[in-house]
Amino acid sequence: MNAEVRSRCMRRSRARRALSLLPLLIVGLLVWFGQFVAAGALFISVMATVMIGTLVPRCALFGPMIKQLRSGGNCTLLTIDDGPHPQHTPAILDILDEHRLKAVFFLVGERAAKHPYLVREIVARGHEIGNHTQTHPAAMFWSLQAPQLWREISGCQETLMSICPEHPPRFFRPPAGHHNMFTSLIVQALGLRMLIWSARGFDGVAQNVDLITRRIRRRLKADSIVLIHEGTPVAVEVARSVATMMAESGLECSTPPADLSFSDDEMVVERRAAP
């Protein structure tokens, strides 16, 4: 990626970091003047806000994101994370063909590099590929600093563009949906938009296909963005069940329109659906 673009992005990241330290300076001054209660309250408030903005996927505190289609029509979007997978991807592609559904596959760069033919097959069948980082460091992505985030996001972008140069990713999705104060700066610098979701069944941890499908069905409506995964023990079964449910819903399921806009920046805490 362009070195000048990276340099400019890193400067903006350093400025954002410096600004984020200002509340800690105020906390220090309050302690200096003996205002311990006020210092503690400010510190807790700042830390809570930062953690919510980082760990709540649909919280747009640190930058714009797409949380639903906002088309005003009868459309919905299916997104599939963590591929490509040598067994799951071909099976899921066949399921989508059977139900005449299109999807966005958010791919991990190092996995795509191992299976480039699957990336090309996804595109050949009319689906879209998205950026899901180069190595998928789900447990620590939220804590990465700007240079590390740049390597993850730009690395995946370069990998996918080398495989399908005529179909560069338009969207980025962070692992587990976690993102910090630097993520949106890097995403925008690379010409991407962050796309989250509005309906999921927690299939990354659950293995009850009926329960997963019911959770998604409760949130499925026009303009929904649905999330499922590859690489799980029930990935193909979930894809088949969810695809059937979406096809029967009467909603149109295709790739995102070219003019897909950002969602309103309201803060939404997604609750786990009850069984």
Give tens-digit pLDDT for 122-177. Answer: 999 999 999 999 999 999 999 999 999 999 999 999 999 999 999 999 999 999 99
pLDDT on residue 266: 44
What is the helix (H) or strand (E) element at residue 9, kind and residue range?
helix 3-20
pTM of the model: 0.92
Examine the residue annotation and report whether 81 is marked as an active-site residue of this protein: yes
Integer Cα distance of 55 and 267 in angstroms: 12
Which tokens is 83 given? 């591929």
pLDDT on residue 173: 98
Spatial CA neighbour of 160 closest among 220, 102, 108: 108
pLDDT on residue 221: 94
Angle, helices 116-124 vs 88-99, to 10°: value is 0
Beta strands in the chain (DSSP E): 75-83, 103-107, 128-131, 171-172, 193-194, 199-200, 225-229, 252-253
Task: Read off the amino acid at residue 27.
Answer: V
pLDDT on residue 264: 58
- Do residues 107 and 130 make contact, with C-beta atoms less than 8 angstroms apart? yes
From 81, 82, 203, 223, active-site residue: 81
- Domain locations along the chain: 3-55, 75-253
pLDDT on residue 258: 80
pLDDT on residue 194: 97
Pick the CATH number of 75-253 from 3.20.20.140, 3.90.470.10, 3.20.20.370, 3.30.70.60: 3.20.20.370
Q: Which of the 8 DSSP states describes residue 228?
A: E
pLDDT on residue 197: 97
- Do residues 195 and 42 make contact, with C-beta atoms less than 8 angstroms apart? no
pLDDT on residue 76: 95
Integer Cα distance of 53 and 142 in angstroms: 10
Sign of CA dihedral 249, 83, 126, 167: positive
- Do residues 80 and 92 make contact, with C-beta atoms less than 8 angstroms apart? yes
Integer Cα distance of 273 and 258 in angstroms: 32
Which tokens is 263 given? 């969602």
Query: Which residue positions in the chain have pLDDT lower than 50?
Result: 265-275
From 127, 178, 179, 229, active-site residue: 229
pLDDT in tens, 100-137: 999 999 999 999 999 999 999 999 999 999 999 999 99
Examine the residue annotation and report whether 229 is marked as an active-site residue of this protein: yes
- Do residues 79 and 226 make contact, with C-beta atoms less than 8 angstroms apart? yes
